[in-house]
Amino acid sequence: MWDTLWTDIHVATADPALISDQDGYGCIHNAATGIENGRISWIGAARDLPDAPQNLAHKIHSGNGLWMTPGLVDAHTHVIYAGDRSLEFAERLNGVSYAEIARKGGGIISTVNATRNVSEDELFDVTARRVRRMIAEGTTTLEMKSGYGLTLQDELKQLRVARAIGTALPVRVHATFLGAHALPPEFKDRQDDYVSHLITDILPQAVEEKLIDSIDGFCENIAFTPDQIERLFIAANDLKIPVRLHSEQLSNSGGTKLAARYGALSTDHLEYVVEDDVIDLAHAGTVAMLLPGAFYFIRETRMPPVDLFRKHNVPMGLATDCNPGTSPSVSLTGIMNMACTLFRMTPEETFSAVTRIGAQALGLQNVTGSLATGQAADMLLWDIAGPHELSYWIGGRRPVQRVFDGKLDPVI
């Protein structure tokens, strides 16, 4: 017998086998879902159940006509940090430039200093508070980057917190090493030396402690060059660790071509990519991870070329980019709305972007991100008219019930 059977539900599966031009959500109406050992063991129309519900499962839950979706996948976050930068928001609104804020001790380095100055336990506590809010908004899988430590001790501290969050809270965590996020003060004007330090000193220790699921970098004229990032990617390849990249956010610096050449799981931001870059992504099977929260918050004007991604069948993901400086967001449904209004994505595209394509961007498409036999039973129940409503509300639309790894969870 199955452990659990859900009945009286409508399901938006995000299953590619069920998605069509007529139904971009992969819907099953009047459905049922069986769960065993944390996995989906059966899903389909309730009329097709092989026996009466009471003969199929130890426990039966009625969804009371609610909509069930996969748990949401937030595939790009910088949620592990200490400190606060809310005052910078007001300064920027008053015309103070990012460079001026940085010169006064603000900006990313202020977050680096704050993160360095707390213990691992303190960093866990402040991070867990944010992650609980994400969980309440429907996130069941969460990518968590380092990149606010920039020393051996503090990068490992962030990555250990990521692992601890995945153990302590009901969320599936993918930990990303982002040592190549910014140049720390100790290495001023010595980018090449810092990249060597990442490769020689920090990366081996993080790998030894099994703290890394992927490696990321920031390829931009204010950060690291393609040649410097490539050194990091070569090291990642040698260690058989997948890569991803922040690229083409502020200029076209060549990062997207580099990421495609190394088969990156995703390239992220992409406001300045051109069609040739998009073709490379298509050939590589790399996800274009779009981040409308940052676009909105810093009032960017150049949009990523969504039409080109469609033209070349590049999968588009969405994520909160939760960070203290440019995207203080914990709501993926709010991001879905931004993607529709700012980037002109369709509701169907945004739904796939935070479910199956988000999972693909983490290499987890065979684990989570869709509701199909064999997938993890990470599921949400919503009091909505249909899945199109998820991208309609400007935030404030939370699931009413949550199932993680097959277990019914209270919504935090």
Residues at the binding site for Zn(2+) are 76, 78, 246, 321
Selection from 163, 177, 173, 161 nearest residue 135 by Cα? 173
Across 175-191, b (16+ Cβ under 10 Å) vs e yields: bbbbbbbbbbeeeeeeb
DSSP 390: G
| d(C-alpha 267, C-alpha 334), whole Å | 21
The DSSP-derived string for 166-227 is HHHSSSEEEEEEEEETS--GGGTT-HHHHHHHIIIIIHHHHHHTT--SEEEEEESTTSB-HH
Where are the strands (E) in 13-133, listed by range?
Answer: 27-36, 39-45, 57-70, 72-74
In this structure, which amino acid lies at residue 61?
Answer: H
Binding site listing for Fe(3+): 76, 78, 246, 321
Binding site listing = 76, 78, 85, 148, 181, 246, 249, 321, 323, 325-326
Annotated binding-site residues for 4-imidazolone-5-propanoate read 85, 148, 181, 249, 326
**Quick check: helix, strand or coil at residue 376?**
strand
The Cα–Cα gap between 272 and 63 comes to 44
Which residues belong to the annotated binding site for N-formimidoyl-L-glutamate?
Answer: 148, 323, 325
- How far, in Å, CA of 67 to CA of 365, rounded? 22
CA 350, CA 333: separation in Å to the nearest integer?
9
Integer angstrom CA distances of residue 239 from 104, 204, 216? 40, 9, 14
